[in-house]
Structure 1
Amino acid sequence: MEPHSTVSREEWLAARRALLAEEKAFTHARDALNRKRLALPWVKVDKTYTFDTPQGRKTLAELFDGRSQLIVYHFMLGPEWKEGCPGCSFLSDSVDGLLPHLEHHDVSYMAVSRAPLTKIEAFKKRMGWRFRWVSSHDSDFNFDYHVSFTPEEVASGTGFYNFEMQEIFGDEAPGHSVFYKDEAGDIFHTYSSYARGGEPFIGTYTHLDIAPKGRNEVRNLGEWVKHHDRYEDAPKACPSCAGK
């Protein structure tokens, strides 16, 4: 951590007011960006996708759970993985408290992974999460929304991700996809974001960004983030699941 100057309260207020002006400009720019996001054109989803859920096999339409909007988090947990991605888990630790507010604003939320449902359920129990999480194990969903890659793509090290061909580093990648269902039952893909597009959804980062040391990272969260039950002093949400 770089040494900081120490100043009088009056000097601090002057510096803080200058930064506040920039923060307000950033807020206004974000508002303008949000308006452009809402104005994006939509794509009708003509393909039928089905998912394994604790309540049986369900279609994408059924995952809306009676609401008109659906946010899907593409959680990195592949069929052969032993546990979920620490970064996806870091983001997902911020989700449960949002659910009542989203659901009462006509928005459903769920995570989707290619791992079998039994593996998803076990990891979800270990983490102590409540949000819905389903399996796209026998579906093209992850591939069509460009968060899973074929063995050929993995072998080549190149795949379509974040809206362009680029280097990939495994068979799974994170992202969000958003859908709308109209009164006729037609579904539309309205938005997706990938890579650092997930950062605004991580509540811990929002708090670290105002702490004196900030994020304290050189490159990314992989330098320090662990599953929340893997920190040395962490209470275990599911003691019998720890270490599995």
Structure 2
Amino acid sequence: MTKQDQPLAAPEIVDREQFDDALAEQVAAEKEVTRHNDRVAASRRRLPMVEVDDYAFTGPDGPVRLTELFGDAYLLVVQNVMFGPDWDEGCPSCSWAVDNLPADMRRMSDEAMAFALISQASIDKLEAWRAKRGWEHLWVSSSGTTYHYDWGWTQQNERGEEVLRPGYSYYLLKDGKPYLTYMTTARGVEAVLPVAQFMDRTAYGRQQDWEDSPEGWPQYPTYG
């Protein structure tokens, strides 16, 4: 059975009055989440910032510095895509996240935001995977720099093995210098994944094995 097969289990059928009452209770709970999110966003806007080296990455046309990724904007969003130097393909979940990006990225530039992808693999590998996925986003390689290690996107586990992390970095260009104002990894990336948010609001949720769902609800391995 796959997600394309409709499950036998389904929500309880009730009359309109019961549905409206249950929905109103759910909406009230979600409004509390919205208010809390507003408070968290307010504290995020009050974070300090730290200056970042103007790393010399490698782009499709040669060297490109971090400050150049801003283009004409003063804000920069970077998706740190897991793609190790010895990998032949990009991380499936990171690739899915890129697929979730706005269809019209001009909406970001309208808000003075530039966008770029950064990975450790060579630019040739990145360009091949980008072409295969049909992406138009600028993707640069951090190979030859300490970027991934400096900011924890690549770490060593207890066995001394390198472990890559996915996530987003948010930068501000001020007086010609790049500053990191915020970064998030793990489930922090979910807030900007619209498909995941849509899935959360369907009857069956994401159908992942960690979710608290009713008996009989379909669930599949999260990274299967």
> Under a length normalisation based on structure 1, what TM-score does the superposition of the two structures give?
0.80
- Identify which of 137, 145, 151 aligns with 2:143: 137
- Identify which of 14, 17, 25 aligns with 1:7: 14
RMSD: 2.1
Distance 1:139 1:222, change over 3 A: farther
- 8 Å Cα contact 2:210-2:222 kept in structure 1: no
- Identify which of 50, 59, 63 aligns with 1:43: 50
For residues 152-210 of structure 1, the C-alpha deviation after alignment (integer angstroms, 9 at most, x for no partner) is x24x347xxxxxxxxxx85311111111001x212211011111111112221111111
- Structure 2 residue matching 1:223: 3-state secondary structure: coil
- Given the alignment of the two structures, is residue 186 of structure 1 paired with residue 177 of structure 2, yes or no? yes
- Structure 1 residue matching 2:129: 3-state secondary structure: helix
- 8 Å Cα contact 2:75-2:114 kept in structure 1: yes
- Identify which of 111, 119, 123 aligns with 1:113: 119
Higher mean displacement: 95-104 or 52-61: 95-104
- Given the alignment of the two structures, is residue 82 of structure 1 paired with residue 88 of structure 2, yes or no? yes
- Structure 2 residue matching 1:79: 3-state secondary structure: coil
- 8 Å Cα contact 1:94-1:202 kept in structure 2: yes
Aligned to 2:215: none
Aligned to 2:221: 223
Equivalenced residues, count: 210
- How do residues 1-244 of structure 1 correspond to structure 2 at under 5 angstroms? 4-45=11-52, 47-97=53-103, 99-149=105-155, 153-154=156-157, 156-157=158-159, 170-182=162-174, 184-219=175-210, 223=221
> Under a length normalisation based on structure 2, what TM-score does the superposition of the two structures give?
0.87
Partner Cα distance (1:206, 1:98) in 2: 19
Deviation at 1:219, TM superposition (A): 3.4
Partner Cα distance (1:99, 1:225) in 2: 27
For residues 11-47 of structure 1, the C-alpha deviation after alignment (integer angstroms, 9 at most, x for no partner) is 11011111111111111111111111111011122x2
Unpaired runs of 5+ in structure 2? 1-6, 212-218
Counterpart residue identity of residue 124, structure 2: T
Moved over 2 A (4+): 1-5, 219-226
Deviation at 1:225, TM superposition (A): 6.0
Counterpart residue identity of residue 219, structure 1: W
Counterpart residue identity of residue 111, structure 2: H
Deviation at 1:48, TM superposition (A): 3.1
For residues 91-134 of structure 1, the C-alpha deviation after alignment (integer angstroms, 9 at most, x for no partner) is 11011425111111100111100100010000011011111111
Distance 1:191 1:98, change over 3 A: farther
- 8 Å Cα contact 1:175-1:198 kept in structure 2: yes
Distance 1:132 1:96, change over 3 A: farther
- Structure 2 residue matching 1:171: 3-state secondary structure: strand
Counterpart residue identity of residue 197, structure 1: G
Partner Cα distance (2:71, 2:136) in 1: 16
Identity of aligned residues (%): 29
Deviation at 1:147, TM superposition (A): 0.8
Unpaired runs of 5+ in structure 1? 159-168, 227-244
